[in-house]
Structure formats: structure tokens, C-alpha cells
Structure 1
Amino acid sequence: MKIVIIEDELIVAEDLATSLKEINPSIEISAILGSVKEAVDYFNNNSEPDLIFSDIQLGDGLCFEIAKTITPTVPVIFCTAFDEYALDAFKANGIEYILKPFSKRSLADALLKFENMQKFMAGSITQRYEDALAAITAINKNASTTIMVRYRERLLPIALDKIAFFCMENDVVYLYTHLGKSYAMSESLEELENKMGQNFFRVNRQYLVNRNAILEATDYFPRKLKINLVISTEKEIIVSREKKSKILAWLEGN
């Protein structure tokens, strides 16, 4: 079975490739592609694989953009951080997915489902891409504009544009406003990342930042990125080289 992986974080892609080959040694990884452009170039010049594993959000756009340039006929298993309710539309259209962080069990189950559904999944893949893109777009459009935080005995609504960033401190997630106020949160950074919408970006394991809180981004040795916010933070915010292109594209509004 020939598989192409579309994932802009190289470490994640290599881990996925290793796990797939451990599950099924006969699997051949034909290519690891890191962007929409790279994927389009590859599929225009190479034969199609049997299956694609693809992240949804790539550095230069959503992976569904690939189907607007080429006409794919290959089933896709999405590797995504979107929560399960958001992916019901994918299942309804015959597209399988696994949630990050993935396990060998989830990968094995996805491969088995692909094999069982292969004849049904090989049909109108383009339409399924369009349906999935519509589902994600609707989620983003319907995202809440406020978040509720607990302060003493009260629940306070805080507008998302008033939030500068979320950060993990001593295993507790805190919300920081542009005015420097902070509130302890009950949700994890992963849960907040899923509900904050496209104006927020998980720059590293500790920080989820609002686009309008970023003052500048500067190069940081070696091949990393340093993010400076309009308000000071206790620690420097460093973006890995694997995420660098993705966050730069996000800052440009792509």
C-alpha cells in the first residue's frame, strides 16, 4: 500500500510514517509533503498513492485547497486537532479521521476502516472535500465571540478580542487580557485551541496567542522564531522551526 503524508510539522509526519510502517511493514511512504503548494506540485507530476494521510491546517492554507487545483481520486484520512462534534460531516461523507495526538491503535483502526470502506470511499472525493471544507468554514463562522471565566463566585464573559493570550503555568492554564488581568481556566490549552477560532494560534506547548496581541516576530537561532507581544510575558515565546512557516502564514492572514 502506497501512502502520501501531508503534514507541515516534520516531526509529526515522521512519527506518523514510522507508526504506519510498524503497524503494516508492507506500507510504502511515497512522499511527505509540507504544504498545499508542495502537494499540488507533487500530484501534478506523480502517480497517485492508494491513500493519503493529511493534516487539515497547513502553513499556506487548508488541505482542502488542494482539491481546487487538482482532481483527487484518492481517499484521505485526516489527522486533526478539531474536536469530534466538528467532524460528523466528514463521517457522513465517507471521510475518515484521527484526532491528534494519535496512537497506534487509532491509526490501526483507521487503516482497517479504510480497507473495509475502500470501494465506497473511492468515488466523488472532490465533493467530499468540498463538504468537509464547508463544515470547517461553518464552524469558524459560528465561533463564539466571548468566553466565560470564573472569578471568585461569579462567571464573567470576556470578549475574545480582549484576550491577549492563554498560557500554561505550573499545570494550570491562565487567560491574560490586554490590560494584564489574569484568570485561571478549567479548560486545557487543547480544548481552548479548538474553540478560539482562527484569530488564535498555538505557538508552542505553553502559549496560545491572539493575533492582535503580537507586536513582532523575529528570527531566533537556530531557524526558530521569537514572538514579542504587546504585553510582557514571564518567559520568552519561542516557535519551533517546524511551526515557523505555519505561524508566518497565519500572521499574513492565510
Structure 2
Amino acid sequence: MNIIIIEDEFRAAKSLENLILELKPNAKIVGVYDSIETSIDVLSKEMKPDLIFMDIHLSDGLSFEIFKQVEITCPVIFCTAFDQYMLDAFKTKGVDYILKPFSREDIAEAFRKVEELKKHFQKNELPELESLLQNMIQPKSNGKSNFLVFKNQKYTTVLTENIAYFFIHNEITHLMTFDKEQFQLSQTLGQVADLVSDKQFFRVNRQYLVNFKAIKEMEHYFQRKILVKLTIETPEQLFINKEKTHSFFTWLEDR
């Protein structure tokens, strides 16, 4: 396994290198780079590592800039002292997000996640980004059967049939299960709507995509709107405007 480290703190880079070689004696550290500029230069050439350990705050900016300049197809493990970039990390190529100061157990757990994803998505090699994303978002013939989510430093899958509704909060897509568990998603609500069965889910408005099984009752409201009540409470009331009323009732009857 060829690994590169992108880290501008010498001690952190050296500690990381030592832990990697201790945990993976057969691994090869093929480069340690301390800036966005150098990393882009190296990754733009022939180097194709199997795994990257990457800090976020580098001497010349945030490492997310690297992804805008070069195509990275291998998994990335982010190691940083800042926790506010987690969502951005998983929107790129991140498979783990380790907060400094990291420990041997943190790095071992990161390798375990890489191996877990490897087994989940491919049989014989580390997952390339395109293959990884394809497996995560490719719809099934009758709609996507589950969603891969990340919470409390762990991956899990949520069956689509167990999702009461999807919604947008602070410009981020979330899902809410019938067990009232909430998870963030990297997809937009529009992308989610394209993935799930349109027989099972309806986009009631710009903020909500609801499961047929979650609908409890409906009632007429002011200005010919429809107020939709679900079996699982939503942060705000759900309204369908008069332009979508016909398609909504047609959807309810079309089963």
C-alpha cells in the first residue's frame, strides 16, 4: 500500500508516519508534503497513492483546494485539530475524520474503516472514489434500498423503508427514521428524490420529501393549501401549495 501524508507540522507528520508503519509494516510512505501547492504539483503527475492522510489547515490554505485542482481517486483520512470541517471532508473523498492529538487507536480505527469500505465495495483493491460513490448513490430498479450514513465517528446503513422523511435544515439534507433517529446526508434533497421510489416518496415542498407510510392525515388550509400531518413529528408544519395538490392526491391514490 502506497501512502502519502499531507501535513505541515513536522512532529505531527513524523508521528503519523511512525504509527502508520507500526500498524502497517508492509505500507510504503511515498511522500510527505506540507502545502497545497506542493501537493497539487505531485498529485497532478503520475503519483497514484492508495491512501492519503491529510491535514486540513496547511501553511497556504485549506487542503480542500487540492480537490479543486486535481482528481483524487483514493480514500482520504483527514487528521486535523478542527472539528467544524467534518461535513466538507465527507463531501470530498474523506472516509474518516481524526481529531488531533491522534492516538495509535485512532489510526488503527481509520485503517479498519478503509478495509471495511474495501470489503463493502470492492473485492481485491482499495475503493476508487468513482466506484465508491457509484455504489453509494446508484438507485435500484424500485428505488434505492438503503443510505450509507456517518455519525459519532461510525458508518452505518439505514434502510430506505425505515425512513419517515428527508428534510433540509441549515442547507444540509437530513433523514429522519420511524425510530426518530436523525442523520445527515451528503446528497441534496433533489438528488435523494431521484434515488428513492417515486411510488413511496413525495416531494411535498422544497424542504421535505415524505414516505407514504409516514402520512397520518391531511386537511384543507388557508389559501387552498393542504396541511400534511405525519406519524413522526416534523420541525415545522408541512404545507402543499395549491399547484401541487392535484399531483399529491393522485400520488396518494396511485398504489
Q: Which has the higher contact order (CA 8 A, sep 6+)?
A: 1
Bigger share in helix:
1
Compute the TM-score of the two structures, normalised by the length of structure 2.
0.45
Q: Which has the larger radius of gyration?
A: 2
